Every structure is written in structure tokens, then in C-alpha cells.
A = this chain, B = another copy of it.
Amino acid sequence: MSAISQLWEADSIAVIGATERPGALGRKPMDYLLRYGYKGRILPVNPRATEILGVPAYPSLRDAPSPVDLALIMVSAERVAGAVDDCVAAGVPLAVIASSGFAETGPEGAALQADVVAAARAGGLRLIGPNCIGAVAYNSRVLATFSPLFGADDVPFEPGSLAFVSQSGALGFGAASLALQRGLRPGWVVSTGNDADVTVLEVLQELAREPECHGLLGYLEDAPDIEALKSISESGKPVALLKSGRTEAGGRAAASHTGALATDDRVLDAALRRLGIARVDDIDELLDVAHAFEFPLRPRGPRVAVVTTSGGSGILAADAVEERGLELSDLTPESKAALAEIVPAFGAVDNPVDITAMVLSDPTLFDRSLDVLIADDTVDIIIACFCVMASTDVQKAVTSLGKAARKGGKPILVARTGADFLAPDAPAMLREAQLPEYPTPARALRAAGALWQVSRPRTPLAPVAAGPGAVPAPASGATEPELKRLLSDAGVRVPAGRLAQDRRDAAAAVREVGGRAVLKAVVPGLLHKTEAGGVRLGVTEEGAAEAYDALRALGGDVLVEEEAPDGVEVIVGMRGSALGPVLTVGLGGVFTEILADAGHRLLPLAPGEAEQMIAELKGAALLTGARGAAASDTAALAELLERVAALAAGWPDGFELDLNPVRVLPQGVVVLDAAYTATG
């Protein structure tokens, strides 16, 4: 049993700083453990009490009977180190430090936090927190928390299958309370505060192993660890993450909150997509997605059919499909013909399928049209929309929809645009039929998009290591000719050419490449070569000597190269990131620099991923032949991306390789310039 799983498996819990004083935070966990019927042993620790709320108390943890599976530390910051020492001495595997006054307050608090973590690690104790609100496990009734959530009069407390793990305790328990209000079933809520030892992702990893856990929901502020993300992804459990600090303003706020730094958000997006982890933008969306996770059916593809009793809902659904990375199915001609027999004249048989409010007088309309859609192989997900329906009508619709979903093994998400007072038992009926429901079509589609994101086939993001095609990393500051040799050896085309020895030799070199050449200064450390006058285009034999002299004057060698054919210029780069090596491709010049039109992927690439990166560029039409220009060889560009990825596999952290520009020709690609920096 891992230390972290004590959050839900502990048979004995010490509450260090427990008190009977009404209103005190140290009383709350005692109240909650007693109120909700925790079955294990409760060990309040308080030097000035022999009994708390009828439970025998101990002056120190060292006096309490062992074993203690979990300690909740609720004393003031300066007394936490002592409590941690006591936990180590008592052989406690896991402590939750609720106390504030650590890294979130500044350098002094950060030092105190570092000391506490070091002591715990040395003593084999894992820590949750500090500066957190603790944790609850609904199934086992372990409550190591002082959250006011459990003090309310009518708080639901049932077993559940959803795990909410959050750096922010207030948001974590707030989200859980909203989930309960919606009728969702949280099984675990864990807040990790400063993430000083155990992180949000570690807790999610541990929960991914719990058979009763059907959905993992995380809120995090710190940059996530890629290995932890991979491990969670490999569990096969559906995961949605809300990572804040996405914008500059949010990033600044995050940095001042818990010392978290905004990481490269777009790289994280790419990584999460690759790992099949849904990323959400708000607590509201997190809950919508969590609800979809509660039920077992998963889409086998992104194609959506909308069946609706209201034309308006159908249009809103169609509007939302694309934005969520899904596609509106065209339906087969057979389906359309079959639907034409079923749907009333004032409805619609093209997707969205509008069966109209006639369904109220003819409830078989849902059954019959769903039969068609379930049988249609171009449909992976069904969105069913209805508005303002009373209980008896909802009951009929739910029966049809539940039967169809089970029969077809396709998820059906319901947009019920009507208040609960119209059909008070609708939420229960829909839950019973395992149909996730949302108040609007757009929200049903938002959840459907996440469901596809966590269900789509994945290629594992294996550890990046040297494999076929890998070469040793160049020396930092390797020159352009050195890098081009390395690329050429790896089968990448670079312009023919060589260094010129002197003015005369420059003319000879120009002749060798066909009588017109590009001359370039090779000066280590010279950035922005073009701006510095270090590049001469269209140099003839006659002009070679003058050009050579001018470039030589910049202080380095002179490279003579053939002129490359016309083509479209792109940038290819690779660099280290907090998540591992990142491959980038962008259209050249202003496209990348001003419009940030570049795609990023973590390595290793999945099959087809290089092509996808290119196709996703906003300016991709430039490569595929815009304005009557010839189409460029995007297949060759994709191959270059794969070669570069293979080449640099296993290069040590902290480097930047820039191939800029790479010219994409009607046939093939050629790398016109290359630079490498080791920054590690």
C-alpha cells in the first residue's frame, strides 16, 4: 500500500492540534470524522486535553498507540516541524499539513517549508500540503480536512466514483460542492496546497489505480511533470485537467500565489492532446466533463449525429460541433431515406435530425429515428436535444435513448433545455439510464468533445532515447557547415557547397556550384546574419572575390553554396522544455514571429503526427499551393520533421536547434541555414 492511499485507506488518523473549542479549525476534522461515521481509530493530539469530543486525546503523537496511518497537522507554522518529527518518530507514512505560513508567504516561509520537507523525506514520511484544506474519501469516510463543506446542514455524503484533486483547496472543495449540487458523485476530494512533496499529479496517479474511480479531475497551478502525466494517461482512466495561469495575467497571478510559473502553455496543450487527457478552461467545464466520465460508453470516433425535438437546439448543436474538435456526420444515404419515412414534413432529416415536438404525441419518433442513427456507421456520438418537457415525456424519451445507447454501444449525451421543476424526477431517470445531461446543446457538445479526447486512439509517448537515426549532439556553437554536414550525413538535403579558402578559391567554388552562388559569413556567435550583411545572394564568378572580402571582414570563414530552387520557407526547430524535447514547425518570417503560427509537439512523434502538425498551420494553404502557385512537397517536410526528431533523440537537456529557413520545394526540401545552442 502506498503512503498516498492512506488518504482513503487509513485505519487510524491522528489529528495534531485537535481541540473542542467551538468554531476552531482544529475541531472541525474531529466533528466530521464523528458525524460521518469514520470506522477507524481517531487519535486527537493536544498537550492540554485528555479527551476531545469524547475521544481520548494524547499530549503528543509519541504518546499515541501505534500504528498511525495518517496524521492531519493543524498547528501553527512554527510548530509544524516538531509535529513532522513526531510523525517520523511514530512511523506515520503520510501527513497532511493544513497549516499556512510557508512558501506562499515569501522566502522565509519557503525556507521553513524546505526544512520540513527535508526532514520528512529523511524520515520516510510523505507530506500533503502545507497550506491545504486536506482530503475526504466518501467511500471509506476518511475525512482529513477542515473544509466547511462538511459542516453544512444537509450536505450529501454518498459513495462516488469521481476524484477531484486540486492545488487550491477552496476551488477543489468548491467544485466538489457544485458537483454534489448537480447530482454528480465525488468519491475523493484532495487538496494539495503548496505541492511541497506530494503533487496533484501523484495523487491522481494513485487514484487511477482505484477500481472504483471512474474519472480523474485535476486543478493545478504549477507546471506538470511529464512522467506523471504519462503514468496517469497509461492508466486508461479518463482525465480532465484545469491548468490555470494560461494567460499572461493569470500566469502572473499564479506566480504570486504559490510560486508557480506559467510554462509553455501550447506545448502543454500538445502534450495533453497526445496523452488523451482533456484540458478544460473553467470549473464549470470540469464538472460537465466529469459528469460524462461517470458513465461507461465511449465514442469510437469524432462523428456526431444530433437528434432534436427543436430546430433551434439543432442549430445551436451544429454550431458547437466543430469548436469541440468533433465532426457533424453526413449520415449515409440509407439513413437519410429511412429518416425521411419517419420524420414529420416540418422536421429535417439532414443532420441535425429534427423530429419536432410531434414526439410528444408520437413517442415512437425517438425510438425509430434512434434505430437509424445507432445503425449508421458514420455516427460515433449522439446528441439528443429536447426543451421544456414534462416528466412523463422525459420518461419516454429517456427510455428510448437509454435503450438505443445500450444497444448501439454509442454514447448519447442529452441537452435538456428545461428547468428541473418541469420534470423533478428527470435527473434521477437520466442517471439511472446512464445518460449524461446538460442544460444546453453547446454544453453537451463540450462534454462530448472531451469524451472523444480521452477515448481517441493514442500512441504512447515513450521515453525519448537515442534510436535509429540518432547522432551525438553537436558541440555548443557548432558552425553552420558543421551542422549541415551532420544533417547531410543523416540524409537531410542541404545546399551543395563548401568553405572557400581565399578570394580565388571563392570563384572556383562558385563555378563548382553552377556559376551563381550564395556566399555566407561563418562567424561563431553571429546572429541575424542577413541583417549583419553576412549573406550575399546571386554571386557570380566575377563578383566572388569582392563578396569574399566583404564577408571575410566580418571575422570568420566564407561558405559558398548553390542557390536553392524557389519554394516556400518554413522554420523547423527543436528545444528542451519542462515537459521534454519539443519539435516545432512554422511558416517562415512573419508567420511564426508575428502571428505565432507554429505547431509544437512533444517527442517522440506518433505516426502521422508530422503531417498533422503541418496541416494544422493556419497558413498551411501556402504550402498546398495558394494563389495558383505550385504545391510544395509537404510529405518531404513531414519526413524532415521525423528525421530531425530521430536525429536529436537522446541529446542532453537544454539545447536549441534551429533550421531557419527550410525551403519546401515542389519536390523535396532543403535546409538553408542551421544553428545550434546548448543552453543547459
Contacts and interface: CB of A to CB of B under 8 A. Distances in A.
Interface stretch (A319-327, A603-611, A634-642): A319-327
A594 to B, nearest CB: 5
Interface in A551-597: 589-590, 593-595, 597
Contacts of A227: none
A314 B388 contact: no
B388 A170 contact: yes
B622 A250 contact: no
A630 to B, nearest CB: 13
Contacts of A37: none
Contacts of A544: none
A55 interface: no
Given A310-B170, A312-B219, A314-B253, A244 B148 contact: no
Nearest to A313: B171
A513 B166 CA distance: 71
Nearest to A594: B621
Contact of A323 (B148, B247, B252, B253): B247
The size bracket of the interface on A is 35 or more
A69 B432 CA distance: 48
Nearest to A179: B419
A170 B622 contact: no
Interface string A91-119: 00000000011001110010000000000
B345 A105 contact: yes
A420 B328 contact: no
A178 B418 contact: yes
B249 A321 contact: yes
Contacts of A219: 312
A318 interface: yes
A224 to B, nearest CB: 15
Given A626-B593, A628-B531, A283 B170 contact: no
A411 interface: no
B174 A388 contact: yes
A597 to B, nearest CB: 8
A168 B440 contact: no
B348 A256 contact: yes
A155 B282 CA distance: 31
A417 interface: yes
Nearest to A590: B622
Interface string A299-332: 0000000000111111111111111000010000
A27 interface: no
A152 B257 contact: no
A170 B319 contact: no
Contact of A311 (B154, B247, B258, B442): B258
Contact of A171 (B131, B167, B417): B417
A387 B246 CA distance: 21
B177 A312 contact: no
B417 A174 contact: yes
B284 A590 contact: no
Interface stretch (A350-358, A370-378, A477-485): A350-358
The residue among A253, A346, A350, A423 with the most chain B CB atoms within 10 A of its own CB is A253
A357 B171 CA distance: 12
B354 A180 contact: no
A157 to B, nearest CB: 11
A248 B317 CA distance: 12
A439 interface: yes
A181 interface: yes
Interface string A389-401: 1100100000000
Contacts of A313: 168, 170-171, 174
Interface in A1-15: none
A250 B595 contact: no
A524 B607 CA distance: 52
Nearest to A152: B422
A254 interface: yes
A443 interface: yes
A423 B393 CA distance: 33
Interface in A144-201: 147-149, 151-156, 166-168, 170-171, 173-175, 177-178, 180-181
B390 A594 contact: no
A245 interface: yes
Given A247-B323, A422-B149, A628-B531, A170 B318 contact: no
A577 B583 CA distance: 44
A171 B312 contact: yes
Given A104-B346, A442-B283, A590-B622, A152 B387 contact: no
A48 interface: no
Given A106-B345, A178-B418, A531-B628, A250 B171 contact: no
A580 to B, nearest CB: 25
A221 interface: yes
A443 B418 CA distance: 20
8 contacts: A148-B390, A156-B421, A171-B417, A174-B418, A181-B419, A249-B328, A252-B318, A253-B317
Given A257-B311, A281-B442, 8 more contacts: A156-B421, A174-B417, A177-B388, A253-B319, A256-B348, A256-B350, A258-B311, A283-B417
